[in-house]
Amino acid sequence: ALAKAAAEEAKKRLDGVDGFVSTGYCGALDNGLKPWGIVVASEVNGSAVNQPAAGLDYVGGPMLSQDRVAGTAEEKSRLRESGAIAVEMEAAGVGQVAREAGVPFYCIRVVTDAASQTLPLDFNRMRDARGRFSRARILAAAARRPRRILPELMKLRRTCKGASLALGDFIANCRF
């Protein structure tokens, strides 16, 4: 919902939007996808998306977009039954705005967590009423079990930093 609102605002403020590129993190549903791997969606929730001309390797396939974090290996296994290879939270909303505007839509993600990986916290419980992640809630949850949670959060942070660099390199080598 937040990504859709941002895309609508961009469309309203920018004269002549040529297209939308939804980028960010995703969780792997396919066991072959590893952290820092690039996923270019062929479709999002069944709707076809455009493909960039890419200069670097990636895996292409269906993407599942939902308004919640798929935080456990068990949930990811169930979601894999949809046929999607990865799951994320923003592309469906951005894609809807692109379709309504009649402009191209691309979805490029980088994997932060493997299909077999369970995240250290239930990040869905760490969101505020608008859906944003609350740092205060995350810190409070980590403080309750610091020896277990803090090292896992630091590991996830390092993975996300490396994933961001990989995503930036990939996008820099794309033509839309």
User: 175: helix, coil or strand?
Assistant: strand
Return the amino acid letter for 92: A
Q: How far apart are CA 168 and CA 83, in angstroms?
A: 27
The DSSP element (H or E) to which 27 belongs, if any, is strand 20-28
Looking at residue 112, the DSSP 8-state letter turns out to be E
- pLDDT confidence of residue 135: 93
Looking at residue 119, the DSSP 8-state letter turns out to be P
Tens digit of each residue's pLDDT (9 = 90 or more) over 74-86: 999 999 999 999 9
- pLDDT confidence of residue 14: 87
Tens digit of each residue's pLDDT (9 = 90 or more) over 87-144: 999 999 999 999 999 999 999 999 999 999 999 999 999 999 889 999 999 999 999 9
Task: Calculate the CA 127 to chain-centre distance.
Answer: 16
Tens digit of each residue's pLDDT (9 = 90 or more) over 159-170: 999 999 999 999
CB burial readout 118-145, b (16+ within 10 A) else e: ebbbebeebbeeeeeebeeebeebbeee
Average pLDDT over residues 135-160: 95
Return the amino acid letter for 91: A
Looking at residue 133, the DSSP 8-state letter turns out to be B
Tens digit of each residue's pLDDT (9 = 90 or more) over 29-52: 999 999 999 999 999 999 999 999
